[in-house]
């Protein structure tokens, strides 16, 4: 399926063939602003949708692996994604020590 055929903001953002999971995204028909709220606006609507999304972990991992700096991905804000990365690094460091 071509990315352009999907009516999803996430498909507009992702052009890579590696992100096939996006066709299962719960946010496919949601407005882009829900996942890219203005500064200070609530992320709660996005989080609620992400928490029932079948591809939450794929989405979060995509954002982490690609260093995406904006928006809610996999139910996590940019600040929360940085915390996840720190946590993962600490686990890897502990395992290699
Ligand atoms: S986890 Fe959230 S942002 Fe990611 S695809 Fe699912 S609904 Fe969309």
| Overall average pLDDT of the 1-8 stretch | 41
Cβ–ligand 1 distance for 73 under 6 Å, the answer: yes
Q: What is the domain partition of the chain in residue ranges?
A: 3-96
Contact 84, 65 (CB under 8 A): no
pLDDT for the residue 49: 97
Task: Identify the pLDDT of residue 8.
Answer: 57
Q: How many other C-beta atoms are found inside a 10 Å radius of the C-beta of residue 73?
A: 25
Each residue's pLDDT tens digit, 67-86: 999 899 999 999 999 999 99
Q: What is the pTM of this model?
A: 0.81
The pLDDT, as a whole number, for residue 91 is: 95
DSSP string over 6-67: S--HHHHH---TT-GGGGG-TTTTS-HHHHSPPTT---HHHHHHHTT-TTHHHHHHHHHHTT
59 with 52: CB under 8 angstroms?
no
pLDDT in tens, 53-70: 999 999 999 999 989 998
CA separation, residue 85 to residues 76, 79, 81, 89 (Å): 12, 10, 6, 6
Mean pLDDT of 32-59: 93
Q: Which atom of ligand 1 is nearest to 22's Cα?
A: 5
Query: What is the residue with the minimal CA distance to atom 2 of ligand 1?
Result: 50
Ligand 1 atom at shortest distance from the alpha carbon of 49 = 7
Q: How confident is the model at residue 46 (pLDDT cuts 50, 70, 90)?
A: very high
19 within ligand 1 shell (Cβ under 6 A):
no
């Amino acid at each position: 399926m071509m990315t352009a055929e999907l009516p999803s903001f996430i498909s507009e953002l992702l052009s890579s063939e590696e992100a096939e999971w996006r066709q299962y995204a719960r946010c496919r028909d949601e407005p882009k602003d829900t996942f890219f709220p203005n500064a200070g606006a609530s992320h709660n609507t996005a989080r609620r949708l992400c928490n029932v999304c079948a591809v939450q972990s794929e989405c979060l991992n995509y954002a982490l692996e690609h260093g995406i700096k904006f928006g809610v991905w996999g139910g996590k804000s940019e600040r929360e994604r940085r915390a996840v990365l720190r946590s993962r690094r600490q686990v890897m460091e502990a395992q290699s020590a």
